[in-house]
Amino acid sequence: MYFSLQYKDFLSSLHHEDRENLSPIAPTSLLENQHKYELTESETNQIFNRKIFQQVINSRAFQRLKKIHFLGSIDYVIDPEGPKPNKRHTRYQHSLGVAKLALQFSRQRQLTEREEILCVVSALLHDIGHPPLSHSLESVFKQEYGIGHHIVSERIIKGDVPIGYDLHKVLLNWGINPFEILEIIHGTGPNPYREIFSYAINIDTIEAILRSSTYVYENSLFWPPFEVLRALLKRDADSTHILDSFWRLKDEVYSKLINHRMGILADYVCQQYTRDHRSSFIEDYYYATELELIAKHPRLFEFLKMLAAKEPSELLPDTKEIIFINRRFNINKKVILESIRSVNARYTQTRSEEVYRLTNN
């Protein structure tokens, strides 16, 4: 990690008027009682009651995530009028959910105040660089501009782009080195931080898969996220059952949602539209909201809306087949969960290039 002496000296010279007003972490009732995937503003303020958390949440970059759908294009075609809050989640609510797990992790591990702050801030910012339509457009941005959400997250957190200026200032005012946050997010930081992002099952995947399961199974909640986290940290016979069930659920979410017919088509439509209109797309769109992208390219979103109502052959008459990456999630039952490192050996995934054929063509 690069951490210059000048930067250390700069941080040590900072004074923050709010340092003496730190609040304790949220009460157990808000962290572990009945789980909610959509937190109100009041609940958010109660759970993330340290001023640094509230300042990060109120930053321009984090507020932008309210207008970035969690599953990208899929949110526009899968049951778009389905019951809320089980449909049309956002990266904002997902990031709050991951940060809530980071708070719970901090309590379980009895971390110091600074360790807790670093864990929670990293969790809040782990998806800060997602573009409009999330993963649906990311591959095209990588091809055209050489950027993805990891690179953009770094730019925002380091304050290299305007949308990250106020967030970067918040981090500096609280004596936090942005490079330290990036290390934790990338899973390369030291313990205790490695446990939250480094392994096959981590606070990001726990929250994301359980949130995604509400698209497939409506109001069903298999395990509250904190129960899966508790099982991950405990790693005994009972917790192995929970983690195995979670990994099987992840496989179902991918087969029934992400790599399902409509998910494949929605991603393809987004990517093909962007390639066909590359002259009217610019790199700055990556930092925009979906509302801003809709204003610039309404036709793309009209196309997505039509996908749910029409046969693909009507909308894509020249497309015979779509190549996609299929992911499957496997359990090696020969591996006993004896340590956190055994998680990656027991829970694995395979990727294969497959073809989806538009049979009506």
Predicted confidence pLDDT, tens digits, the chain (361 residues):
333 333 344 344 444 444 444 445 555 556 665 688 889 999 999 999 999 999 999 999 999 999 999 999 988 887 655 555 446 789 999 999 999 999 999 999 999 999 999 999 999 999 999 999 988 888 888 888 888 888 999 999 999 999 999 999 999 999 999 999 999 999 888 888 988 999 999 999 999 999 999 888 865 667 899 999 999 999 888 899 999 999 999 999 999 999 988 899 999 999 889 888 888 888 899 999 999 999 999 999 998 888 877 777 778 888 889 999 999 999 999 999 988 889 999 999 999 999 998 865 4
Handedness of CA 10, 122, 2, 60 (dihedral sign): negative
Q: Domain spanning 5-357: which superfamily?
A: Hypothetical protein af1432 (1.10.3210.10)
Residue count (the chain): 361
What type of residue is 60? R
Rounded to 5 degrees, φ, ψ at 290 are -70, -30
pTM of this prediction? 0.89
Structure tokens at 34: 């009945």
C-alpha–C-alpha distance, residues 224 and 172, integer Å: 34
Task: For residue 326, give the H/E element and its range.
Answer: strand 321-331
